[in-house]
Structure 1
Amino acid sequence: MADSRQDPPDSSPDAGMPVSRLPERGRVVCHGHIESVTYMPADQNAAFTAIVSDPDIRQSGAKRAQGKGGRLRVVWLGRRRVPGIAAGTEVRLEGMLSQSHGLPTMFNPRYEILSRQENE
């Protein structure tokens, strides 16, 4: 008899791959947690930047300390804020991946908020 259970969301192709398994370039779908965000001053061009990492790296900085992958820079050009994007938020991203200043970078990706960290 075949098992009719569905795979958990993290292992389905729609959830995307973890940030640490991204290729160097190309169109990708990935998921991770927002580690930090950067707001640009009013006198500079509008851009909103976030660093996305794998959940395991966010909890144990071991890979990051060794200089390994697992981090992605996401940049929304022409925007000073992106609703729902804040540190601790789990997101699914889709877009073109490139390399910029030594980090994999995605500009103006499509995004879906998967969960948010509760502060209370």
Structure 2
Amino acid sequence: MADAAPEPSARPLPRRGRIAGRGFVERITIFPRSEAARFAAMVALNEDASASGSSGQIGTHVRLVWTGQRKISGVDPGITLAFEGTVSTVDGIPTVHNPRYEIIGRREESL
């Protein structure tokens, strides 16, 4: 079975707006040194995510991108984190740039 990127949810996020969410990091992306410094994490959202000022509902995945960072200490696959920021769609994926975040713990610890 091929490891494909998650499909955008049938329940769309707003095209642009504030979002607060909580979920676990499924995977991270570390970009090569030949590109601008950035670090990305794909987060599978829990049901308690919310968008302000939007009639759309929350999707199942959001990409978090930290610009100017090659690594975010503690943000690794399997951890649960809470985050908030402004979401926009980049390459068809809901994306939050430079979010505020709090590391909650590892997924297996919260079960």
**Shared topology, TM-score over 0.5?**
yes
1:85 counterpart residue number = 75
% identical aligned pairs: 40
Please name the residue that 1:96 is paired with.
86
Structure 1 runs of 4+ with >3 Å offset: 20-24
Larger strand proportion of the pair: 2
Query: What is aligned with 1:108?
Result: 98
The two structures, once aligned, show a CA RMSD in angstroms of: 1.9
| 5+ residue gaps, structure 2 | 1-10, 48-58
One-letter code aligned to 1:92? A
C-alpha distance in structure 2 between counterparts of 1:95 and 1:39, whole Å:
21
Question: Which of the numbers 36, 40, 44 marks the counterpart of 1:53?
Answer: 44
Cα deviations across residues 46-92 of structure 1 (Å, max 9, x unaligned)?
Answer: 00011001369xxxxxxxxxxxx411111000000001100000000
For CA contacts below 8 A with separation 6 or more, give which structure has more relative contact order: 2
Q: Rg larger in 1 or in 2? A: 1
What pairs up with 1:18-97 in 2 under 5 angstroms? 22-54=13-45, 69-97=59-87
Give the aligned residue type for 1:85: V
Q: Normalized per residue, which structure has more helix? A: 1
Give me the whole-angstrom Cα distance separating, in 1, the residues matched to 2:21 and 2:104: 12
TM-score, length of structure 1 as denominator length: 0.65
Q: For structure 1, which runs of at least 5 residues remain unmatched after alignment?
A: 1-19, 57-68
Q: Distance in 2 between matches of 1:53 and 1:21?
A: 14
2:94 alignment partner, SS class: strand
